[in-house]
Structures are given as structure tokens and as C-alpha cells.
Structure 1
Amino acid sequence: MTKTLFGRTSLIITSTLLIFLLATISIVGYFIVLPVGKRNAEDLTSLILLSAQTYVELPPETRQDFIDELSKSHQLYWGDGNEPLAQHTHLGPHFRLMEESLSSRLGSNIDIVPETKNPDRYWIDIKLAEQAIRIGFDRQRIDVMLPYVAFYLVAILSIMAVLSSLLLVRKITKPVQSLSQAAGIIGAGGVPEPLLEEGPKELAETAKAFNKMSTDVQNLLENRTVLLGGISHDLRTPLTRMKMALEMLPNSVDTELSTELSEAVDTMALIIQEYMQLIQGFEDENIESVNIKTLITNIVSEIKPNKTQLVHLLGDSDYQLDTYAAALHRVLFNLIENAISYGNKAPVSIAWEQRNSVLEITISDQGFGIPQAQQKKIFRPFYRLETSRNRASGGSGLGLAIVDQIITQRGWKLCLSSTKSSGTSITLSI
């Protein structure tokens, strides 16, 4: 998630807000909650000690009235020493502050202990003027004095800050995400839906410019296809006439020259056919069920390698795949033809297997390999490792360009591995 713009922006804003709120909580706790808590503990401690001292100094006949008044007005209770008490445990911070204050004033260790029958009531044993006094109070007597509202408020603000930052970032990054997806569709040769030209001015103008660019690109591609289609049609007619004229030449014409001219005409016709395949693709193709072994066997038969050329097929002979049959045929034809043509006449292996719902077809030869610097360039139109432009030795330079366009359109993947010592291996993932 952090690799996306939404994830990174959300992480930065949320982290900043949480750090700010954590600092706020620390400041509020140190400068407000802690001093107020200490003051409350001191006040209750002073009231308890004052009540104990007053009780000791009062005549016995007035002490009961004093105890009743403390219970009624100050929620302090006088114990008779028989209350069942639990063992001393570590209590909350406000109790600890009271214990420290009482111990400091009386000069001895004072514990605040809860009652076993009434866990909400706590008792303190004090010894004054040789008299043991037990005074109790309820939890709410001290809890209500602590400003927990500040903590609750900060917690609510933290949740609101995080949620609002996520909503804000989502609102900002969603158009950018749509723009990225549309750009990917254009890169794959598709036509994306127009982006919504709304929202902040900058994003609306960007969407508008992108929609215009997308339309211009599609118009350019359509015009290119129409133009090249017309040129192809116009060129095929004179090439056909030239082919017929060559076949009608008298026998007195040099046979070698006639054959060379005929092969040149055939080469030009094939280049035109391949280039039209490159620009047209397989947009209207339907999905069909294909037996992989049968498809590869037929392709090898079409290529017609030399009788001494060995082609090993490795894979499940019954493997069926629902895919774009014509596109797959064209891709495998070009890849297998290259492996046989440039494989140094050594055996070629074609293996296929399924891994995690992905079919992988690997075509390996034992040729001279492709230099690392040229492994990406070979997929460019008309790029050839062999620079003489001789079709017999180097082809037209369109085969791998067609492969690259088809796998981009179909969302397939191609992985190339090539070294001088082991040849070239290409894996097609569908």
C-alpha cells in the first residue's frame, strides 16, 4: 500500500497528525492532568487528616455527630476496624499520589486498601495520639475529580483526524489513480473511458488535457492504419503485375536474374503483409479452446525445418487452454521460427506447464545468444541483429515487434534470457 500515492500520502498525514496528538496528550497530561491530580490528592489527604485530628480532639459524646456529618457532607466513612480488607495492590495513579502524600505527612508508610465486600470502597488506617483510626471513601470520591474528559476529547480528535485525512487523501488521489489506469490502457493499445473533468481546477484541467491527448492518439492511430492500408493495397497491385511479368519472361532471359527478381518481389510482398499485421493486430479475435501440443506441432510443420533439425516437445499432450487462438498462433510461430533459424542448427526445445493458474511456454535454442545491450532493442520494428538486411539471414525485423504488440494487447508476459554459452530462452506467460 505504501508504494501507491494514496498509501504514502495517507501515511505521512496520518503519522503527522498522530505525532501531533501524542505530543498534545503528553503536554496536557504533564501540565494539566498531573498537577490537577496532585491537587485533588492533596485536598482529599488534607481533609482526611483534618477529620482524623478533629475526631481525636472532640469529646466522646460529640464524635458520632461529627462522623455522621462527614459521611453526609464529605462522603468520608468511619470504620470500626472489622471491615474485611483485601491485600494491598497497585492501584491507579490518583491512589498512589494519595499514598505518597499521606506517608509524607505522617512519617510512616500508609496504604490504601479496597474492601472485599464492597470493592468500590477504600480504607486508610491512621494512628494519631495513640488512637487507631480507619477512614474510608468511595472510588467516585476521587475519580470524579480527575479530568478524564481531556483524554476522551483527545482520543475522539485522533480518530476524527485519521478518518478525515484518509477521506481527504482519497479525494485527491482518486483522479490521479484514474489517470494512471487510463494511461496504462492507452499504453496497451486500448481506448480508455473519458476521465471526469471535475473537481479542483488543476485536476479538472489535467483530465481535460488527457482526454484530448487520448482522442488525438486514437485519431493518429486510425489515420495511420488507413494510410498504411491504402499504401499496402496500392503496392500489392504493381507487385502482382511484376510477379506475373517475371513469370512470362522468355526463356532467353538470364534464369539467375529472373529468380533473384522474383524472390525480391516475394520479399516485398511478405514485408507488406507483416507490417499490416503489426499495425492491425487482432482486435476482433474470439477466444477458443486450444490444445497446446497440437498447436505447436502444427506450427513446426508450417515452418518446415530441415530434416536434420531436432525439435523437442515437453509438456502435457492433453493440456487445453481457452485463449485467443490466432494471436497465440502468431506469437508462437514467430518465436519458434526465430529459435530454429538462429539456433545454430542445434536441437530446439519447447516446453509448457501450468504454474499458479498461469501457462508458461518456454522456447529454448542453442544459438550464439543475444548481447545484453540489444535484448530490448530486438522488439523494435525493423531492428535486426544482422545488419546486412538480407532476408535469408536476418528476416524483415518485424517478427518480434508483432510479438511484442500482441502480448501487450492481450496482457501476456514475455521473459527473455540469453547468453553466449547456452543460447536463448524465451518464456511466454499466459
Structure 2
Amino acid sequence: MMPRTLLARTFLLLAVLVLLTTAAWLSLFRYIDAEPRARETAQLAASAVNLIRASLFAAAPKKRLGLFNEFSTREGIRLLPAEPDDVIEAMPDSRFQRLLYRELTARLGAHTRIAARVNEAPGFWVSFRLDDHDDEEYWLILPRERAARSFATHWLTWGLLAIILALAMAWLIASRISRPLKAMAKSAETVGRGQIPDPLPEDGAEELRQLASAFNTMAADLVRHDKDRSEVLAGISHDLRTPLTRLRLEAELSVADEGARQAVVADIEQMEAVISQFMDYARAESGETAEKTDLATLLGSIVERQGCIGHVLHSEIGSLPETLLRPKAISRAVTNLIDNAWKYGGGDVQLKVAAVDREIWIEISDRGPGIPAAEVERLKRPFTRYESARTNAGGTGLGLAIVERIARLHGGRLDLLANPEGGLLARLVLPIRH
């Protein structure tokens, strides 16, 4: 039931805190406000009763009825004689009403009664006697609002405004915490794809500034180390090509025995293939710009080139949308997977391409011995080989690592699965980007 994002969770917790705090303050205000309001209401009713008592005592008995009418018409105070058969409805049982009754009895005497309704007539009914020894009783009828507690509209308005402002501040606080973390997560994903992220802004709270600075330093170090490693591999590979070319020439001219010469040339070609893989790995994340590419045409050209060197593929290339990718890098990745399939797959290689749920699946399957599921992730690491029938002792263990880096560079992935028909199914998944 909890929200998933840090922003929503932080805002929810702050909002709950604001609402609970506001409710606690309102409850405390109502509790503290009850006694003074009860005292004020009781004082008002007692003053009215005392005024009526004094007026009635001062008036002649024959003029009291006229005085009642005078109070009603001029002052809005209603007076009725209490009757033994009056039907009385008591006030609601609440703390405020109990305090009000206590204050009234303290001022008017223990015989005082209060009611919410008498003979079906609503109001704030207070009984009193002209004299403590007088059995004749009267009802003073005040507006019901006098005995009811309610918050003034302006207090509710200000309270609602305070809650809205508090929630707005809670949202601002939560967003200022989550925004840099979200930006850092996106930058981390960019680093994971092998790309260079834009530096994070080093502003805000001291802890967030330190975190952004440390992340920027880490990203810059990773880029520098990767660049240094690629330059070292490229430099070594480039420097080895010249002596290998010279060795090939010397073997062609100096070795008289045909079998020995072919063996030396084969060794040199294998070494050149290893160097080519080093070069491919070094430039797997080169600065090639992504562009809209017709992937079906690109893969069709790869199939044709494979046919020209005697590797006939069974291909199924469906209709594919144009997508943003790096054509040279994708060609290198697909070619590496096809070469692996030809080397270790038993001579039956299939290429199948389709668009599935906003992704493009490029599948190369073979009928070789396959790879155990426990070894899949390990074999994606550089310079790692699986010592089995799929192993080429002269290989470098860079083929799958190159494909994995190119996949991450495009925001995709490389899946190595068991072929339902036996063998290995290598699936290169690329997101469709326009």
C-alpha cells in the first residue's frame, strides 16, 4: 500500500505528520476552550436571570405580564412560566454541557435546570426562581447557539489555509530531497550503459552537495580509467601488427617447407584475430553517434557478407521500425555472435529478428553443446572462457564481453539461453528509440 517513490513516501509521511499535529492542536484547543466558553455562557445566562429577577421584584405583580411582553419584544428574551407537566429534553451529555451546568448551578442555585427542548420548542432553556424560598419557577429561553460550541468560520478558514501551506512546504521539502537522488539514479544508469553522464549540479544541502561531488568524481574516474584501458589495448594491438606483418612476410620468403610455412602463417593469422578482438573491445564504446537506422537492411547486409565467406545463414528478418542506434557497433556485436555460433555451434546457425513490446530481439541460435545457466553471467565478463566443447584455446574471451558492452551502450541486454532445439540461443535485445 505504500507508494514506491521516495518523493511520494516522504510527502505522505510529512502530510500525515502535519494532519496529526493539526488535529492534536485542534483537540487541545477545544479542550482548553471548553471551560472559558462554558463560564462565559453561564455568566450571560446568570446575568439575564438576575436582571429579570430585579425587574420582576421591582414591578408590581399586576404588571409582571406586561413586563414579560416587554422583555420579549424589546430585548428578545423569552420568559415562560414552568409547568409541572412540561416535557423536557435534556442537553447532550458532553464535557462542555457538564461544565455549563456546573457554572449555572453555582450562580443560580442547585434547583436550576437546563434543557435543549421543552414541549417540543427548541432553544437554550434555563429555569430560575425569583427567590430561593419561592416555589414558582420560570423558564428563560435563549438562542440555542448560546449553549453550542462551534468554531468560527474565519478560524476554520485560517486552519485550512495553514494545512494547505504546510502540505505545500512538505511537498517542497520532499521534492528537494528526491530530485537530486532521481538525477543521480539516471546518471548511474548512464554510467551502467557505458556512457558519460552530465555532471550533477552540486547545490542544495551540504550532504547532497557532498554526495553529488563524490558521484561526479567517481564518474570522471571511471571514464578516465576506461579510456586509459582502451588506449592501452589499442596501443598494444597496433604495435603488434607491424612485427606480425613482418613475420608473415619472412615466413612466406624464408620457410621452404610448405607444411611448416602454412603452420606459421596460421599461427600469425590467429594472433592477428586476437589483436582484432582487442581492437574491437577497445573501441566498443567509441564516440560513434547514434543515428536512425534501418536495422533490417543492416542485418541483411551482414547475412550477405556471411554468405560471401561461405557461412550461409538461415535468416528470418521481419518488418522493423527505424530506431536510434550505432550501426558499426551493432554490426560488430551481431558479427561476433554469428562467428561464435559458427565456431562452436555445429554448422547450423539461424538468425531471427522481430519487434516485441517496444524492443527488437536479434536471436542467433546454433546446435552446439550450449552453455550451462550457472556460467552465463561469468562468460559475459572480459577474458573469460568456458572450458568445454565451445572453447577455442586461441580465443581471448572477449567476444561476449564486446557484445555485452554494446548492448548496455544502447540500453539493452544480452541474454544467453538454451535453444529449445538444442544448443545456444543468444538474444541481443535493443530498445526501440525514435
TM-score (norm 2): 0.71
Map residues 243-262 of structure 1 onto 2, 5 A cutoff.
Answer: 243-250=248-255, 252-255=256-259, 257-262=260-265
Cα 1:47/1:123, change in 2 over 3 Å: farther
CA distance in structure 2 between the aligned counterparts of 1:4 and 1:69, rounded to whole angstroms:
67
Secondary structure of the equivalent of 2:294?
strand
2:206 and 2:321 mapped to 1: Cα distance?
A: 54
Candidates 163, 169, 175, aligned match of 2:168: 163
In the alignment, which residue of structure 2 is the partner of 1:405? Answer: 405
Question: Contact (CA 8 Å) 1:344, 1:366: kept in 2 or not?
Answer: yes
Unpaired runs of 5+ residues, structure 1, are 80-90, 115-121
Query: Could you say which residue in structure 1 is the equivalent of 2:83?
Result: none
What is the Cα deviation at residue 352 of structure 1?
0.6
Partner of 2:332: 330
Name the stretch that deviates more: 186-195 or 396-405: 186-195
Q: Is the contact made by 1:190 and 1:409 (CA closer than 8 Å) also made in structure 2?
A: yes
Aligned to 2:268: 265
Inter-CA distance 2–278: structure 2 relative to 1 (3 Å threshold): farther
- Going from structure 1 to structure 2, the CA distance change for 1:159 and 1:322 (only over 3 Å counts) comes to closer
Name the CA shift for 1:97/1:44 in 2 (closer, same or farther; >3 Å). Answer: farther
Q: Partner amino acid for 1:275?
A: F
- Note if contact 2:352-2:362 (Cα within 8 Å) is conserved in structure 1: yes
Distance 2:191 2:3 in 1: 25
Does the Cα contact within 8 Å between 1:40 and 1:145 map onto a contact in 2? no
CA distance in 1, matches of 2:346, 2:54: 112
Match in the other structure for 1:137 = 143
CA distance in 2: counterparts of 1:134 and 1:233, whole angstroms: 110
Between the two proteins, what is the percent identity of the paired residues? Answer: 25
Which deviates further from its counterpart, 398-407 or 122-131? 122-131
Paired letter, 2:291: I
SS at match of 1:223: helix
Q: State the SS of the aligned residue for 2:371.
A: coil
Classify 1:183/1:109 alpha carbon distance in 2 versus 1 (closer, same or farther; 3 Å): closer
- Do structure 1's residue 313 and structure 2's residue 316 form an aligned pair? yes
**How much is the aligned-residue C-alpha RMSD, in angstroms?**
4.7
Structure 2's unaligned 5+ residue stretches are: 81-90, 105-110, 129-134
Aligned to 1:233: 238
Give me the whole-angstrom Cα distance separating, in 2, the residues matched to 1:320 and 1:193: 27
Residue 329 of structure 1 aligns to which amino acid in structure 2? S
* Contact 2:56 2:64 (8 Å CA) reproduced: no
Letter in 1 for 2:267: A
Deviations 1:266-287 (A, max 9, x none): 1221222222222223422351
Q: Partner of 2:361 in structure 1?
A: 360
Question: Deviation digits for residues 368-410 of structure 1, max 9, x if unmatched?
Answer: 332222111121112111369963x784321211111112222
Residue 414 of structure 2 contacts residue 429 of structure 2 at CA under 8 Å; is this kept in 1? yes
* TM-score when normalising by structure 1: 0.71
Which stretch of the first structure deviates more once superposed, 130-139 or 372-381? Answer: 130-139
> Does structure 1 residue 295 correspond to structure 2 residue 302?
no
1:32 alignment partner AA: I
Classify 1:196/1:92 alpha carbon distance in 2 versus 1 (closer, same or farther; 3 Å).
Answer: farther
Native 8 Å contact 1:48 1:135 kept in 2: no
CA displacement at 1:304 relative to structure 2: 4.5
Q: Which residue of 2 aligns with 1:277?
A: 280
Contact kept in structure 1, 2:193 and 2:408, CA below 8 Å: yes
Cα drift, residue 155 of structure 1: 4.2
Equivalent residue for 1:18? Answer: 19
Moved more, 408-417 or 300-309: 300-309
Contact 1:334/1:399 (CA < 8 Å) preserved in 2?
A: yes
Q: Indicate yes or no: 2:352 matched with 1:350.
A: yes
CA distance in 2, matches of 1:261, 1:184: 46
Q: Is the 8 A contact 2:411 2:430 kept in 1?
A: no
**Which aligned pairs between 1:62-77 and structure 2 lie closer than 5 A?**
62-69=64-71, 73=75, 75-76=76-77
Aligned residue identity for 1:401: A
Over 3 Å counting, the alpha-carbon distance change for 1:53 and 1:3 in structure 2 is same
CA contact (8 A) 1:300 1:336 kept: no
| 107 and 287 in structure 1: CA distance in 2 versus 1, 3 angstrom threshold | closer
Q: May I ask how many residue pairs the two structures share in their alignment? A: 400
Distance 1:366 1:123, change over 3 A: farther
Deviation at 1:200, TM superposition (A): 3.7
Query: 1:278/1:308 Cα in 2 relative to 1: closer, same or farther (>3 Å)?
Result: closer
Q: Return the letter of the residue paired with 1:110.
A: R
Q: Match of 1:369, SS? A: coil
